[in-house]
Amino acid sequence: MIHTDVIVIGGGPAGLAAAITAKRAGAQTLLIEREARLGGILKQCIHDGFGLVRFGEKLSGPEYAERFIHEFHEENIEALTLTFVTKIKKTDDGFVLSAVNRSGVAHLSAKALVLATGCRERTSKQVFIHGTRPSGVFTAGTAQHLINLLGQMPTKKCVILGSGDIGLIMARRITLEGGKVEGVYEAKPTPSGLTRNIYQCLHDYGIPLHLSKTVTKVFGADRLTAVEVCSVDKKMQPIEGTNEIIECDALILSVGLIPENELAESLGIQIDPRTKGPVCDEVLMTSADGVFSCGNALHVNDLVDYVSESGECAGKAAAGFARKERMELSLSVGENVQYLVPQRLNLNAEDLKTVLYFRSREVFGKCSFVMTVDGVEVFRKRYSVLRPPEMERVEYDFGPLGLTAESLVSFEIEEA
């Protein structure tokens, strides 16, 4: 059995950052990746726009990943690729993993774990699309895999459901490859993707965006031949009589991402129903001592720069992990906040300088992000606009507040 200090599961941007940081903090570190190459989903994201926050330049996904992979190798960190973790067992002084690869089943032990397992896409069935079962229904990520990694064209003429960023990126990508995108349909009254992507991927290419409309049905016995679109009411339910048939050969779905936390769940880790990721403290430790979470497994990020940042936070903490008495305080959020990460603080921590990530529940014009302790306002940040697709980041040091386990720390978005 291999023994190490920290095992990072997942070799995407979060896992790479976590492993590099853990190693630099002096921990013996091992990274496990299920695919053949490091880089995670960035490998197939050949568009630009990555790294603006972190490097001040517009990189493609592979370029962004390459910078970290380079550092990763410079640090001489061991990586097991094409290796799949099947089981994690808690032991007295850490964890034992069963990992499958082409050499067999290996058992690996570590004092601390970083789960950087990313996310998966919601499927057509999860948004209750009905009709036949033809080929030609793809999630945007699958279409991206086919086009960018395998050089295969999955459509000549398609409809895209969902205005999430990957859907927008794929609308442009398919157009550039000579395919026709009949339109992007979004059930919500506002777009789900970043504003810059609405302009750069749709407007610039003359691709129409239809809001408050959704796809309800697909047609075609073999390959998809058409989709039915419908206007939806405020509860996102299709309105009868508004249906329209659009002939196309594919339906591409960008209808949301779900953090992948099956391994975390197998350890009984508490999951936040709002983020679908583990409930974490200020150093991103989950409810299981010694298990840290980062990246899109923690919550779905809009920018990879923040994914790396959370990886670094988790990696550093995992390297310095030592079992100590904890004093936990949950942070509560008001109705206008969709979610807040981290969800709690360990008041016994020496340092309570914390990076907070949050999203608003809906679009708010002039508003403030306000923090109160026992009803008294202690922090306020003003925004000219807050949009759910755009994640916000706030740094705050809780140390000087002198919080106790009984304090009520609350966050809310107040409209001006």
Partner 1 sequence: MSKFQNICKKIAELSPNIRVSEARGCIVLQGEVGNWETAVKAGQLAVDKKRYLGVINDISLKGFVQNQRLPTEQDKSLDDERPDVLIIGGGITGCAIARDMSKYKLNTVLVEKGPDVASGASRANGGVIHVGINFSKHSQKHYYNIRGNRMYAGLSQTLDVPFEQKGQFLLCCKGWERLVVELLRLHGRSMGIPGVRWLDREELLKHEPCAPDYVVGGMYMPIGGITSPMEMTVALVENAVKNGVRIFLNTAVSGMETENGHIVSVDTNRGRLYPRLVVNAAGVYADKIAEMAGDRTFTIHPRRGTDIITDKKAGYMVKTSMEKSPFSILPYQKAQVTSGPFGSAKAILAALHSNTKGIGLIHSIHGNMLFGPNAVETPDREDTSTYRDEVDQIIEIQCHVATDLKASDVIAYFTGVRAPTYEEDFVVRKGVFTDNILEAAGIQSPGVTAAPAVAADISKWAVEYLAEKMTVEKNDSFDPVRHAPPRLAQMSDEDRDALICKNPDYGTIVCRCEEVSKGEILDALNSPVCVPTLDGIKRRLRPGMGRCQGGFCAPLVAQIIAEHQGTSLSSVKKNSAESIVTYGETKGAAQ
Where on the chain is the footprint of partner 1 (CB under 8 A)? 34, 82, 84, 86-87, 98, 100-105, 107, 120-121, 123-126, 128, 130-136, 139, 141-142, 145-147, 149-156, 174, 177-179, 216-217, 221-223, 238, 265
If the CB atoms of residues 117 and 354 are measured against partner 1, the closer one turns out to be 117
- Between CA 284 and CA 289 the distance in angstroms is 11
Rounded to a whole number of angstroms, the minimum distance from the CB of residue 148 to partner 1 is 9
Q: How far is the CB of 132 from partner 1 (least distance, A)?
A: 5
145: helix, strand or coil? helix
Q: How far is the CB of 135 from partner 1 (least distance, A)?
A: 4
Check residue 304 and report its DSSP letter.
Answer: H
**Residue 335: other Cβ atoms inside 10 A:** 8
Choose between 124 and 163: whose C-beta lies nearer to partner 1.
124
Cβ-in-10-Å burial (0-12, 13-18, 19+) of 253 comes to buried
The H or E element containing residue 167 is: helix 165-176
The residues, any chain, with a CB within 8 Å of residue 313's CB and separated by 6 or more, are 283, 284, 294, 355
Span between the terminal Cα atoms of the chain, in Å: 59
Here the tokens at position 321 are 């992990």
Lookup result for tokens 């380079």: 70
Nearest residue (CB) to partner 1, 67 versus 145: 145
Which residue number, 100 or 401, has a Cβ lying nearer to partner 1? 100
Rg (C-alpha) for the chain, rounded Å, is: 22
DSSP SS3 for 266: helix
For the record, the structure tokens of 262 come out as 């099956």
CB of 307 to partner 1, least distance (A): 19
Taking the complex as a whole, the smallest distance from the CB of residue 20 to partner 1 amounts, in Å, to 25
Give min distance, CB of 212 to partner 1, in A: 18
Least distance between partner 1 and beta carbon 36 (Å): 9
With CA atoms as reference, report the closest residue to 202 among 188, 223, 181, 225: 181
Minimum separation from the CB atom of position 208 to partner 1 (A): 19
Residue type, 109: S
Q: How far is CA 361 from the centre of its chain?
A: 17
Token pair recorded at residue 346 = 């360990």
Residue among 136, 264, 291 at smallest CA distance from 272:
264
Measured from the CB atom, the residue of 70 and 87 that comes closer to partner 1 is 87
Report in angstroms how near the CB of residue 126 gets to partner 1 at its nearest: 7
Structure tokens at 339: 């979610």
Nearer to partner 1, 157 or 326 (CB): 157
Residue 123 or 270: which CB sits closer to partner 1?
A: 123
How far apart (Å, rounded) are the C-alpha atoms in residues 405 and 41?
40
To partner 1, the closest distance from the beta carbon of 108 in angstroms equals 12
Token pair, residue 30, equals: 């091992």
Look at residues 393, 394, 364 and name the one whose alpha carbon lies nearest to residue 379: 394
Contact by Cβ (8 Å): 19, 36: no
| 67, two tokens | 């910078």
